Structure 1
Amino acid sequence: MKINTSIRLYVIGAMFVTGSLVIIAMSGVAVSYFFSGMDVAMTELIRSQAFEHEVSDNHPVNMQELSIATRWQDLPEDIQSRIDPSEIELGQLSKFIDGVPLISPPKVGYFVLKLEREGETRFASIVLTEARPRHHGERKLPNFFYIIFYALAAIVIFAGILIILAYRVSTPIRSLRDWAKGLNQEQLKQPLPSFTYSELDALAQIIQSSLSSVQDSLDREQRFLGYASHELRTPIAVTRSNAELLGKMIERDIDPSKQQEVLRRIERAALTMTNLTDTLLWLNRQEDKALPQDEVLLGELIEQINGELSYLLVGKEVSVHLAIDATPISLPMGLCRIVISNLIRNAFQHTYSGEVKIEQQQEKLVIINHNLSDDTHNDDLGFGLGLELTERLMKQYGWYYLNHATTNGRRVEVHFSSSSCC
């Protein structure tokens, strides 16, 4: 099982290790300088005293911890037993520390310096012991121990600062995560909240923009499915009913010319479904491609659609008045069929007793319905989705469209003007 690495822990760990290494290295340098400084101070002290006194062979000078002699063997025995004379170099301090200075103050320190001036060689040594004896159980920390103490304190403080910084940074990140997880269709439309840091705000904007684009695509797909199911049900019903009719006619060996007429109706329904699908895809994708143009006889198309939708008037006392002409116009067939079908369907569905007037002259179509019934039954199958689709199509294609209420119904006017198409 693969374990994902936490960015927060990774960054904190990397910074903590880096900072700790830097602090430890600087502390080591400080300790090194501490010992170097003691050596320099001790060297200068011995150097300043080595030629200040008269010294002869066999008569070394002893002043408290300091001893000065012209020969190695004249130095104190403790010095001779702890420091190898072969390792002594001219002008270089040699030393021996009894104890580990990093743990506790040394018990005794032995220092020797070999000097030469005007041909005279002298050995100077110092033996340093504790200023006072320690009582049982008493421990005195060396001075440079505080360097280590301060280093550890610096690491702890640094770790605390890292934790605080991580909390301040991770809190808005968690807020961004929770906000992104809880995004829905309504929240995508709301203003972006602030996540403290500009980088997180930019990331939130990218997330919102991406999800809004996905949501728009889903909305378009849902509208397409709704429009398709709404518009294709009539040609599908025509296809099914005529296919059943054709089967019965074949079984009964009815006149082939009548069978051909039924077959043509099936072919027209199939062509209608193809045109409707192409039109809906064009609307859904909102591409700049123009729909294919056909020579459309609006009057003939209106008469055909009127016949297909006449079932909506079964059982109603509604009269339909058609006034059409035979003017051919270059228009997209699928788009015209959707618009005309929805407008006539809406008029038929919302007229329960009265009349429907359908008047077409060249590219102009006017549909007026007069409903004389008090029936308030509302079938929004055509009024809701159908008219919504109609309005979108005509707005997208640039046709003139007017729909307003009258005393007992509505009046709809459409201009199928090819000069205004996109």
Structure 2
Amino acid sequence: MNNNKTLRKYVITAHSIIACMVVLIYTALVNIYFVNGLDEGNFQDLHLEAKSFTQAYNNNKQPEIPNSIHFKGFINWQSVPAQIKKYFPELEFASQLQMHSKRLNLEGLPMSWPEQVIFVLAQPLNDGNIFYLTRQIDIETYQALSKNNIKNMFKLTWPLALLFLIIMHLYVHFILKRTMRPLHHLGTWIDNLTLNNVTDPIPDFEFNELKKIAFQQQKAMLRISDVLDKEQAFLRHASHELRTPIAVVKSNAQLMERREDNPKNQTSIERIKRAALNMQHMTETLLWLSREDENEKLIISDINISDMIKHLLEDNQYLLQGKTVELNFEIDELTLKLAPTPCRLILNNIIRNAFQYTAQGNINIYFESKILIIENINTGKTEFESENSDYGYGLGLQLVDKIIRKMNWQYENKQILGGRKVTIDFR
């Protein structure tokens, strides 16, 4: 399939083929009508000469049998030359007026210019005899005149054909220019169509078909805008609504922690605090992603990645309780100028994901030269080893993908033996 095909090339190619076919067909028709016209003219001459002779013969005027450079007449079949008998045997017993012709081509060249043309008329007479009138045209006799006529025919036919092709091409180019201009206008309008200007009036594209395409494109963009508005509204509302109960849970957990010394109560309080912390991180992520202004200038500050990672490891340590997991990390003490919120959201989601999906094995965290690598490896048989598992692709990492794209950082999340390896390049 040709990916470089354009409407302009397609129309010009189709037009050229059709125009050439029309020229060839009409040229052939002109030739056919020309030859048939010559035949009809000769038959008319034969018919008029034979009519004059038969009328006089039937009235017993004993007219002279035609014998000239143009016509030769014969009474009865026996007097007809052998060549006529050879090519027109069906005229021996003619019962009514008949006219036939025969073109004799050069030997072995059936499609060549005829060497000789023979016209024969058979007219029954009142006394039972048959009058035959013939005309033989030898091309050699008329060679000079024939060549001149042929040249004149070509001089007239091919210039007309060329003129026709030129007119057709000019007309098609005019039509293409007339139609491609609004098409290019439509393409430019669609390229520049955004959610910000989708409600602007549709420009005039001249043709109803193009106007319908533009209208359908605008409707599709409006539907997308409506879906995005609903999604962002839901995220904003849900995030804001959740912040209040999260704050209540955290504050009450702190009060219970001060008043109760029972270890069982203390365990429950820790669970409440961790759940509240997870909900807080998730709502912050959703709220940050739902901001309408994609070009909003983020607050950049100096961030100690080592401190941030250590705090997040402590926050998510509860996910490793009851598991045989060895945590290894080598983190450079490095301060980077980054946006704090998206950086913390990304790191928290990846670390939590690694902790959650490692039942037995190792978790390795490396940070060097602005490149962070987090990999988790399950060494024992776990439920995460199923080939159809969506391990490593929960809601958290889906949000990470969106944040990474928004921040234009380099990101790789690939499956390795027993787990996954995530690489983030903050450069």
Whichever of the two has the greater Rg, that structure is 1
**For the superposition of Structure 1 and Structure 2, which TM-score range results when normalised by the shorter chain?**
0.3 to 0.5
With the length of structure 2 as denominator, give the TM-score of the two structures.
0.47
